[in-house]
Amino acid sequence: MSSFLSTAFKLTVISGILVGVLLCLFSGWLSMKILMTPEYQYVFILFGLTVVFYGLNSFLIAVVNGHKAFKNTILSIF
């Protein structure tokens, strides 16, 4: 189980970094093609910088939920 979670964690981080770099590199092009203006290029850069954290958040919630401890974790925070 530990090696499975370790592999899933590594894949999440690597794919998040790869997608984030691609979003930052092609932010101008994406802004022109999707939003029809270069004015919102910063939106894609911002998302590119945060996509790794979003992926990690989803991964950790899935792990906690898989261990049936989500409710206990949330209640212990509050």
pLDDT band (50, 70, 90) for residue 5 = confident
Q: How many structural domains are present in the chain?
A: 1
Cα–Cα distance list, 45 to 21, 24, 37, 38, 72 (Å):
9, 5, 15, 12, 36
Higher pLDDT, 34 or 78: 34
Nearest alpha carbon to residue 22 among 44, 41, 53, 43: 44
Amino acid at 59: F
Q: Quote the pTM value.
A: 0.78
| CA R_g for the chain | 17
Each residue of 10-46: pLDDT tens digit? 999 999 999 999 999 999 999 999 999 999 999 999 9
User: Which domain range does residue 68 map to?
Assistant: 2-77
Report how far residue 70's alpha carbon sits from residue 45's, in angstroms, rounded to the nearest whole number.
Answer: 32
Each residue of 50-73: pLDDT tens digit? 999 999 999 998 888 887 766 666
Q: Are 10 and 56 in contact (CB under 8 A)?
A: no
